[in-house]
Amino acid sequence: MPRIAVQTSSAPTPVGSYSQGARRGALLQVAGQGGTDPATGELVPGGVAEQTTQTLRNIDAILRSEGSSLADAVMLRVYLAHADDFPAMDAAYGAFLGHPFPARTTVVVGLLSGMLVEIDALAVLPDR
């Protein structure tokens, strides 16, 4: 079963040697996404809450391009630039996803300039 690259214009274009997502069978791994508006190529204004919401929109757009959505995500990994941003990120994350939540890991890391949050996702595609 081959790996299939996933690409949609509804999410930001990768800036490196990677695909927006990779599918193999029923598994779809979405590459780390940030709070970039796909229409402008710029980070959305505001703070970590606004970037978290846009990041989740970008992930959902990639999943939807394959007939899936965040409802099919089983794991999200959150990378924060600042530990103090956890409460605001978590509130925006919870409001966007709702119950039941997928599994999640959150770590504090160095991110590209201006990027406050990056999130990747693993989803199991619904039967077609």
CATH number of the domain at 34, please.
3.30.1330.40
Q: What is the reported pLDDT for 87?
A: 98
91 residue type, one letter: A
- Number of domains within the chain: 1
Q: What is the reported pLDDT for 84?
A: 98
Angstrom distance (rounded) from CA 36 to CA 51: 8
| Residue 106 domain boundaries | 4-124
Q: Name the average pLDDT for the chain.
A: 96
pTM for the structure as a whole: 0.96
Average pLDDT over residues 65-72: 95
Does the pLDDT of residue 15 top 90, yes or no? no
Cβ 116 vs Cβ 63: under 8 Å: no
